[in-house]
Amino acid sequence: MTKQTTVRLPQELADEAEAVARVKGTSVNALIVESLAAEIDRVRADAAFTERAAKLLERDKELLDRLAR
């Protein structure tokens, strides 16, 4: 399953993405999907990021629990 979304890119970045995709023989969409997946893998491996995420999730859970009362 896929989800369609709109991404607004600065013109220069869009032009560079088109050039990179063309040289790689792929679409801009595939380039964006590949790049986003790589960034998600990178931040998941970052201990400081995952620690901050865990704290935020815990805080959100506490807020939701309070609202549910």
Could you tell me the pTM of the whole model?
0.74
Rounded Cα–Cα distance for residues 54 and 48 (Å): 10
pLDDT in tens, 5-56: 999 999 999 999 999 999 999 999 999 999 999 999 999 999 999 999 999 9
What confidence tier does 69 reach under pLDDT thresholds 50, 70, 90?
confident
The full set of domain ranges for the chain reads 11-68
**Of 14, 47, 45, 46, whose CA–CA distance to 31 is shortest?**
14
d(CA 38, CA 59): 27
pLDDT band with cut points at 50, 70 and 90 for residue 4 = very high
Contact yes or no for 45/51 (Cβ under 8 A): no
Half-sphere exposure for 63 (CA within 13 Å, toward CB)? 6
3-state SS, residue 7: coil
